[in-house]
Structure 1
Amino acid sequence: MARRTRTRHLIELGGLVQKAGLVDLADDDHATLYGAMLELAAKARDENAGDVLALWKRRGKRAFDAEAEGAGNG
């Protein structure tokens, strides 16, 4: 059961990478995607992590909300 839950979680995270447009932007290159994610993690650690994470969370919530509104109007 724990393995199934972990697998579902990883699939959902991959979906977010796709949804954000990173797969197309990086031309589906795994090294580029991994490097970009490492850069984001380093930025969050080096800068005021709380501020950066809060900004990313607000942007993500707005995007999810906009998507939900768009789905409701179709």
Structure 2
Amino acid sequence: MKRRERTRQLIELGGLIAKADLVELTGDDRAVILGLLVEAAATLRGETRARQLTLWRRRGKRAFDSGEIG
């Protein structure tokens, strides 16, 4: 059961990358996509973590609500 849950989580996360148009915008360059994610992780390790999470959460919710993604 754990394996199935993990597989579902990975599929959903991949879907978010696709919905954000990162596949298209990067020409499916996985090194670029990983670089973007590593940069985001570095930001979350910094002093602006709480502020950045708030901004990204708001932007994400707006994108889901408006259907502007994907």
Settle same-fold status: TM greater than 0.5: yes
Structure 2 unaligned spans of 5+: none
Runs of 4+ in 1 over 2 A off after TM superposition: none
Structure ranking higher on relative contact order (CA contacts 8 Å, 6+ apart):
2
Q: Per-residue CA shift, 1:5-62, capped at 9, x if unaligned? A: 1100100000000000111111101111111110111122224101100110011011
TM-score by length of 2: 0.88
Task: Give RMSD over aligned pairs.
Answer: 0.9
Larger Rg: 1
TM-score by length of 1: 0.84
More helix by share: 1
Partner of 1:37: 37
Over the matched positions of the two proteins, sequence identity in percent amounts to 57
Structure 1 unaligned spans of 5+: 68-74
